[in-house]
Homo-oligomer: A and B are copies of this chain.
Amino acid sequence: MSTIDEVPAPARALRKDAARNRELLLAAAREVFGERGLDASLDDVARRAGVGVGTAYRHFANKYELAGAIFKQEVDEIAAIAADGLRHDDPWLGLVQFLESTLEAQTVNRGLREVLMGVHDAELEAEVHHLLAGPIIALVERAQAAGAVRLDAAPTDLGAMIMMLCVVADVAAEAEPRLWRRYLPILLAGLRPDGPALPVPPLADDVMRKAMSSHKQRLAQVTAQR
């Protein structure tokens, strides 16, 4: 095949040791950012990974690119879960399964929880939206078409619900990681055709995205750091 190309791979594969360090860094970042937040220093991440800071900078242009790389992985998982839900025979159960699986996944994965709570930077936010918007819309519309979801519900309602449950899950992460299950039925009941009247219309898709993008900025104001 490659009789012409002297240079074998255009998108260079990582050397074995480099690949290992990259993984070490991602794992360490997941841990360190998990424990002390994005305010933790890259020095700390590198130390935990057992490599020099310089190595971190060889793999990631800066701190935020490293953080983004982590969260990208988490979101991919969720997108896969949504796709599963779409394949379920019963549209309603497919949607419920998506919610449960998603929440279940974030229970054991703080990074994921954070992403779903919308607490992140603009670039990642856009990527998250790009990956998840389609499947979520499909899930909701499919359930609406089947008469399982009230017609005035919007895909962004699902996003809001995930967010709400994630906060509960996050707050109670250590005390009772299953606490979100207490509020899931309540929210699901509200999604049904006979749910209570909703006085305010839902957020449009892109408005929701922008809102979550700026949310992280507002949270930053609050979060104590030491």
Contacts and interface: CB of A to CB of B under 8 A. Distances in A.
A16 to B, nearest CB: 17
A88 interface: no
Max count, chain B CB within 10 A of own CB: residue among A173, A210, A217: A217
B36 A118 contact: no
A64 B222 CA distance: 10
A196 B178 CA distance: 17
A8 interface: no
A39 interface: yes
Nearest to A167: B167
Interface in A113-133: 114, 117-121, 124
> Chain A interface mostly helix, strand, loop or mixed?
helix
Contact of A178 (B160, B170, B200): B200
Interface string A78-107: 000000000000000000000000000000
Nearest to A219: B223
Given A36-B221, A164-B164, A189 B195 contact: yes
B223 A202 contact: no
Interface residues of A, number: 72
Given A37-B220, A38-B222, A38-B224, A175 B119 contact: no
A171 B224 contact: no
A115 to B, nearest CB: 8
A215 B171 contact: yes
Contacts of A224: 38, 64, 67, 119-121, 124, 216, 220
Interface of A: 33-40, 64, 67, 110, 114, 117-121, 124, 157, 160-161, 163-165, 167-168, 170-176, 178-179, 181-183, 185-191, 195-203, 207-208, 210-212, 214-226
> Closest 9 A-B residue pairs measured CB to CB?
A37-B221, A186-B190, A37-B220, A121-B224, A164-B164, A185-B196, A114-B222, A182-B200, A119-B222
